Amino acid sequence: MQDRTLVVVGGGFAGTTLVRALEKRLPQDWQLVLISEESYTTFNPMLPEVVGAAVFPEHVIAPLRPMLTRTRFIMGRLTEVERSARRLRCTTLTGQLDLRFAHLVLAFGTRAHIDILPGMAEHGLPLKLVGDALHIRNKVLQRMASVELCEEGDPARREHGHIVVVGGGFSGVEVAGALADFMREGQRYYPGIRCGELSVTLLHDGERLLPELPAPLGLAAGRSLMQRGVDVRVGARVVQVDGSSVTLADGSRLSARTVICTVGTRINPVAQQLGLPVLRGRIQTLPDCAVDTARDVWALGDCAAVPNAVDGGVSPPTAQFAVAQARHLADNLVAHLKGHTTQPFSYRSKGMMATTGHHKGVADAFGLHLSGLSAWLLWRAYYLSRMPSFGRKLRIWVEWTWSLFFPADITHLRFTRTHEVDSTTQR
């Protein structure tokens, strides 16, 4: 008997949107399986909000199980695929699990590639997961405490108080703005810190920030950050990172003990094991999201370079396109199972947005260029609408409203267990 199992790997925007669409449309004699390393989906564009303490970490994640009705959920990591036998293996909490499949959809995103620069893997802090965001916030609070503990006149005070962000894309711009506001608001609780001892520098190896947006918005984002006190440097290429400094291509050196890396991604090892075609670190697909004409393995989301029929280019790795690809692939999978012809992905962007700190942002929405408060409100409204339930929307709205009137929470949230109480290691 032919296997009738459709497996989706990845619980991000793409994977969850796809399985929720297929639950309503997949024939009842088919089994739908979702494999994810985590039991929740992360709203990655909101991670800078966690860094800046605008929301709690649990507010940017949503549990997967309540979203599913007929899907079998497996918490595990895909480690091997035998395509000829249509069998996959994943590592779970209880050991190895083998599954057969008729169709396999890869939506597992990309991995952080922080060793893209010498010393970055040892000394840099990636921003890819909710744990990364919370760790960065804790590290910044530790640095602020360290400034107070250093003797007056000690150069280490400025090293501790200087945060360097590498990368002028969406994540870099947003986390730089969030940190500038967070540190400025939090300084009131650190009376030993002098004026000018806390600073944020944003380094971008390009002519302007946010190259994905129209040039005027990238320039507006730079001005907004500089007004918040961020030292914005474009055309600044990092060549070396160590424990106390960042070295640039022009030979200059910035003293800083905290470096946040928002550049560099690498492909999931499973894609390499399958020998799939790769385009700039993403799985190259056919126009209908299939990886080849066999049409038994498909890919979408950040991990996939999906052609867009609207402009002939490759879809950008954004949440907006991941959701659009998921809905389109649901149509194609249902059509393919019925023996019908699949259709190429075609989607016109509704626009892109970025925040540059509290109450400020830039946006290209339906051809309109917005900046300032209106762009910031639009950004929040969009991501609030993407939350999966009314209860979670309400919780985030309340938290955002609270942050408008009260200072940022400077709690250093450590998860210390009993046997670690006497440890001398600071985390």
**pLDDT given at position 1:** 43
> What residues have CB less than 8 Å from 57, skipping those under 6 apart?
50, 130, 133, 134
Pairing assessment for the beta strands 351-357 and 304-305 based on DSSP bridges = unpaired
Question: How large is the greatest C-alpha to C-alpha distance in the chain, in angstroms?
Answer: 77
φ and ψ at residue 45, rounded to 5 degrees: -60, -15
H or E element in which residue 19 lies: helix 13-25
Residues 299, 107: contact at Cβ < 8 Å?
yes
Query: Which among 398, 371, 372 is positioned nearest to 384, based on CA atoms?
Result: 398
pLDDT attached to residue 427: 54
Sorted by where each starts, the structural domains of the chain and their CATH numbers stand as 5-110+267-337 (3.50.50.60), 114-263 (3.50.50.100)
Report the sign of the C-alpha dihedral through residues 327, 331, 334, 336, in that order.
negative
**CA-CA distance, 303 to 322, in Å (whole number)?**
10
Nearest to 131 by CA among 34, 61, 75: 61
* Euclidean distance between CA atoms 127 and 47, whole angstroms: 8
Contact (Cβ atoms closer than 8 angstroms) between residue 23 and residue 49: no
How many Cα atoms sit within 13 Å of 181 on the Cβ side? 26
Quickly list DSSP for 189-219.
Answer: G-TTPPTTS-EEEEEESSSSS-TTS-HHHHH
Return d(Cα 188, Cα 192) in angstroms, integer: 10
Q: Tell the residue number behind the tokens 């994640």, with chain if given.
A: 61
Burial pattern 67-97, b for ≥16 Cβ within 10 A else e, equals bbeebebbbbbbeebebeebebebeeeeeee
Pairing of strands 238-241, 245-248: antiparallel
CB distance 33 to 74 below 8 Å = yes
Rounded to two decimals, the pTM is 0.90
Identify the segments of the chain with pLDDT beneath 50. Answer: 1
Helix or strand or coil: residue 182? helix
Residue closest to 307 by CA, chosen among 267, 279, 281, 271: 279
